[in-house]
Amino acid sequence: MQTREIAKDDWHSFFDQVSRALRGKLIQIEVDSLQLGAQIEANKLSLNGLTYDSKDDALIITSDQIEHVIRSPLQIFITDGGEGINSLKVCAADGTDQIVNFTEPLALPSAG
């Protein structure tokens, strides 16, 4: 696996592109802070999209159940695996690190 930082100038176009490729993957969102420790914010939700809103300086992660907003991201890192992006780490101005893990949904056996 390889981790790399995404330059802030590329966030908008990067998330537009990877959002399509990751749509439907299951996500887990973990929020790490010194005050609260590691907290699971969402688990096994189907991803609808990832968007960086430069006007509001926010990364928005949407699923059918939630809209998770990370305000004032400072740095964004992705971890690539053999089959694409495995995780996303966002270091925010409020001192939190937010990690989004991506997994494939379980495939149902074919009826037949």
Spatial CA neighbour of 99 closest among 1, 6, 30: 30
Report residue 12 CA to chain centroid gap: 14
Residue 70 lies in a domain: yes
- Condensed to tens digits (0 to 9), the pLDDT of residues 4-44 reads 999 999 999 999 999 999 999 999 999 999 888 899 999 99
Residue 56, domain member (yes or no) = yes
**Is residue 81 included in any domain, yes or no?**
yes
Residues 91-106 pLDDT 10s: 999 999 999 999 988 7
Query: Is 63 within 8 Å of 42 (Cβ atoms)?
Result: yes
Q: Which domain holds residue 52?
A: 2-103
- Residues 20 and 42: their CA atoms lie apart, in Å, by 20
CA–CA separation, 23 and 64 (whole Å): 11
CATH of the domain at 57: 2.30.29
- Number of domains composing the chain: 1
